[in-house]
């Protein structure tokens, strides 16, 4: 492995660590809103945190997984769940959906950058690398929603989410095409994806409805 | 790779191309009926189109995936979604379930043939090859229904679907056992699986109910 | 492969055989309660039986899968489904959830033991091996519930299930750390996991609720 690859790999791992915590927390909150039991909370937190990255690694045939290479993370997630549950129990509150949006937006940007860079590093075509960035960023949440028996929020709430990931991932591909250093590409992708997501949340922007709501709308 | 293997591989790839489009369209329509947003439509279309084949490849440890080898297809699916959404928006209609049945039946036969042949080519036992044909053909739709938060249609509507795939796959295994050329086996499987499906639709045939409907039936 | 590894491998395969049948039956019953059609019953049975082990093998990159190495099992499951459906049809009854609990508890213990041992044998860290034991034991049922469009029972009914698997898996890790022979570790894990599960069922023990039920509780 070249030194630059090693450095890149290190940057990607660091990026994933912060994103993992942000996503685990979003899983805890989703599970709490569905009143899952303590086991369900831990599983959904873990699935949200590691699901997207693991699916990406599975598709890219990349081993070892993040949580196999760093099994300490399994304990970190378990600890986070216990602390979060005790906190919610003591306060008798479940944080609202709004509280999930900030860590979630950060996780979105970080995983997009990490996943896209990783796929590019493995020589994938640009469109596939972008897809891998989106899968890393979005499919943890998709698995979370599927386990919680909901249509994934990312696909139905008309707020740009996967779209921010898509644009951020292309920003990274563009930066790389312009021969920007890896750290610059990663930074651009995080700033673009997270920034667009936060902007969309602050302005309450919605994707245009392309069909009238159905007669049997929920 | 032998020439015959290469030819076989080419035939399988061609078969998958047509089936992919048919399934993507069925995904668009399912997403439209659930009023997903534009991102959801594209994801569900892609999942329906590539999900079954990707799951098969994942289980068979076969790389690269169809959409990695041919990343242009990602754009084709995206384009199909945009065109379909604009068309539905202009006409103010969502095609009924009935309109999905014809491309779906074709996709069923084509993926059954492709998946079974691929597994046989990798030296899998006949029962596993049949299973791989069924997974290729049926699990795109299963993933589509799971993401749309429905019990998969294939498992509950008492119309033969996976069963047509099952019979078509065994027809291919039978043809191969009789030393028929590969193209003949593929053709037989497509004709049998798609034909049985269309026959079942035209005659409105239902699998026998094996239990009375529950008191709390939907 | 050393002789001891071969022996271990044999023991694990034997353990999986019994557990597979127990889980398939639990899948048949779940599908019957949802009134799936005959195809759905077979798929859900197969998914419950092989889903956990296959996901574990997929994550561990271990081939061939159980059902590829022993394709006869596909027929065994199909046969079990046909017999079970005929029996339910003749008696006009669907066994209650209670009837599923005993084979399910046995499957839980057996898969926990098999999955944990397998991951340890592949040199995984203890926490990952425990996770693999839990995935083997619990994710067949999780996939069953997802396909049946339910929040997985294991995550919401406040009865210890994955927790029993967790403790049983650590018992195996502990036994191995104490240099107990492999068969002893496997036995301990099965006895602990299945025993705890049965004990919880008999005493109707519930995990403490950590939040009040929501206003919009089901």
Each as own residue / partner, the long-range contacts of residues B9-16 (CB below 8 Å, 24 or more positions apart, any chain) are B9/B121, B11/B117, B11/B182, B11/B183, B11/B186, B12/B114, B12/B117, B12/B118, B12/B186, B13/B66, B15/B110, B15/B111, B15/B113, B15/B114, B15/B186, B15/B190, B16/B53, B16/B66, B16/B110, B16/B111, B16/B114
- A window 133-172, beta carbon within 8 A of C: 146-149
The confidence score (pLDDT) of residue C22 equals 81
Other Cβ atoms within 10 Å of B6 Cβ, number: 10
Return the partners of chain C (3 or more C-beta pairs < 8 Å): A, B
Domain map (residue ranges) of chain A: 3-203
Mean pLDDT along residues C97-111: 81
Interface check for B70 against chain A (CB to CB < 8 A): the answer is no
Query: Lowest-confidence range among B45-49, B52-56, C17-21?
Result: C17-21
Percent of chain A with pLDDT over 70: 87
Residue B162 — pLDDT band, cuts 50, 70, 90? very high
What is the tens place of the pLDDT at every residue in A80-130? 999 998 888 888 777 776 766 777 888 899 899 989 999 999 999 999 999
- Residue C86 reports pLDDT greater than 50: yes
Tell me what ipTM this predicted complex has: 0.87
Other Cβ atoms within 10 Å of A96 Cβ, number: 10
Alpha helices in C34-63 (DSSP H): 38-60
- Tell which phi-psi region holds residue A157, choosing left (phi > 0), alpha (psi between -120 and 50) or beta: alpha
Interface check for A188 against chain B (CB to CB < 8 A): the answer is no
Residue B213 — pLDDT band, cuts 50, 70, 90? low
Select the more confidently predicted residue: B20 or A211.
B20
The confidence score (pLDDT) of residue B19 equals 75
The confidence score (pLDDT) of residue C77 equals 94
Here the tokens at position A40 are 């369900």
Whether the Cβ atoms of residue B171 and residue B204 lie closer than 8 Å to each other:
no
Mean pLDDT along residues A133-160: 93
Main-chain phi, psi angles of C16, to 5 degrees? -65, -30
The per-residue pLDDT of chain A, averaged, comes to: 87
Query: Lowest-confidence range among A158-162, A188-192, B8-12, C211-215?
Result: C211-215
Residue C12 — pLDDT band, cuts 50, 70, 90? low
Query: Lowest-confidence range among A101-110, B48-57, C173-182, C200-209?
Result: A101-110
The confidence score (pLDDT) of residue C15 equals 63
Report the alpha-carbon distance of residue A192 to residue C6 in Å, rounded: 53
Q: What is the dihedral of CA B26, B32, B33, B34, to 10 degrees?
A: 110
- Nearest residue of A to residue B45 by CA position? A155
Q: How far is CA A41 from CA A85, A140, C155, in A?
A: 9, 14, 7
Q: Angle A8-A10-A11 (CA atoms, 0-180°, nearest 5)?
A: 65
Report the alpha-carbon distance of residue A201 to residue A213 in Å, rounded: 22
Whether the Cβ atoms of residue A136 and residue A53 lie closer than 8 Å to each other:
yes
Mean pLDDT along residues C40-58: 94
Residue A218 — pLDDT band, cuts 50, 70, 90? very low
Residue C55 — pLDDT band, cuts 50, 70, 90? very high
pTM of the model: 0.90
Instruction: Identify which of A39, A54, A68 has the shortest CB distance to residue C155.
Output: A39
Mean pLDDT along residues B105-114: 90
The confidence score (pLDDT) of residue C2 equals 56
Report the alpha-carbon distance of residue B37 to residue C7 in Å, rounded: 54
**A125 to B71: CB separation less than 8 angstroms, yes or no:** yes
Whether the Cβ atoms of residue A172 and residue A189 lie closer than 8 Å to each other:
yes
- Residue C13 reports pLDDT greater than 90: no
The confidence score (pLDDT) of residue B14 equals 63
Question: If 0-12 CB within 10 Å is exposed, 13-18 middle and 19+ buried, where does residue B10 land?
Answer: exposed
Report the alpha-carbon distance of residue A23 to residue A80 in Å, rounded: 11
Here the tokens at position A179 are 């021969």
Mean pLDDT along residues A173-180: 95
What is the tens place of the pLDDT at every residue in C131-189? 999 999 999 999 999 999 999 989 998 889 999 999 999 999 999 999 999 889 999 99
Interface check for A124 against chain B (CB to CB < 8 A): the answer is yes
From B156's Cα to the closest Cα of chain A, the distance in A is 18
Mean pLDDT along residues B140-145: 94
Residue B1 — pLDDT band, cuts 50, 70, 90? very low
- End-to-end C-alpha distance for chain C, whole angstroms: 53
**A35 to C160: CB separation less than 8 angstroms, yes or no:** no
Contacts of A14 (CB under 8 A, 6+ apart): none
**C211 to A32: CB separation less than 8 angstroms, yes or no:** yes
The confidence score (pLDDT) of residue A21 equals 85
């Amino acid at each position: 492995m070249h030194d630059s690859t090693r450095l890149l790999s290190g940057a990607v791992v660091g990026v994933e660590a912060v994103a993992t915590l942000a996503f685990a927390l979003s899983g805890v909150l989703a599970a709490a809103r569905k009143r899952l039991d303590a086991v369900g909370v831990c599983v959904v937190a873990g699935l949200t945190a590691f699901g997207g990255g693991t699916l990406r690694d599975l598709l890219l045939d990349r081993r070892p997984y993040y949580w196999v290479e760093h099994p300490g993370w399994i304990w970190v997630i378990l600890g986070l769940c216990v602390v979060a549950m005790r906190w919610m129990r003591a306060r008798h509150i479940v944080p609202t959906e709004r509280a999930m949006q900030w860590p979630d937006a950060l996780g979105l940007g970080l995983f997009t950058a990490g996943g896209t860079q990783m796929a590019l590093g493995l020589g994938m075509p640009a469109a596939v690398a972008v897809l891998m960035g989106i899968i890393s960023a979005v499919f943890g949440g998709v698995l979370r929603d599927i386990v919680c028996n909901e249509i994934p929020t990312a696909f139905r709430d008309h707020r740009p989410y996967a779209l921010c990931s898509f644009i951020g991932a292309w920003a990274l591909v563009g930066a790389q095409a312009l021969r920007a250093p890896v750290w610059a590409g990663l930074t651009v992708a995080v700033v673009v994806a997270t920034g667009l997501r936060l902007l969309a949340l602050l302005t309450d922007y919605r994707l245009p409805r392309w069909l009238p709501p159905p007669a049997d709308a929920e």
